[in-house]
Amino acid sequence: QKCRNPCPGTCGVGARCEVVNHNPICSCPPRFTGDPFVRCQQLPEIQATPVPQNPCLPSPCGPFSQCRVSGDSPSCSCLPDYIGTPPNCRPECVSNSECSSHFACINQKCRD
């Protein structure tokens, strides 16, 4: 007697059939689910919801600065009592030599 393919008509819609020891083995293909003897359906695509990122973490602004979120972008400014432009904010002075000759550096400010 001749062998015949046992697969035709055995498995459900969209299923795969594999013959093992003359027996049909039905299975759903990758990314499909269901009863392979009835129907295999494609799994729905799961859309990953992007987690909003804080553009100020880590801070791109540099030392002596503050970062605020403006839309989706960071907005940098120097802290109060600091001068310059981020990322180069600095105290007004750290020594008397940075002040005019008639001023002294007191608490990082040039004072009379």
17 within domain boundaries: yes
26 within domain boundaries: yes
Cα 61 to the center of its chain, rounded Å: 21
What type of residue is 30? P
4 within domain boundaries: no
36 within domain boundaries: yes
- Whether 1 shows a pLDDT value over 70: the answer reads no
For the ranges 7-11, 45-49, 105-109, the lowest mean pLDDT is seen at 45-49
29 within domain boundaries: yes
- Whether 16 shows a pLDDT value over 70: the answer reads yes
> What is the extent of the structural domain holding 39?
9-43
Q: Which two tokens stand for residue 59?
A: 């801070």
Mean of the pLDDT values across residues 30-49? 91
Nearest of 28, 31, 10 to residue 19 by alpha carbon: 10
16 within domain boundaries: yes
94 within domain boundaries: yes
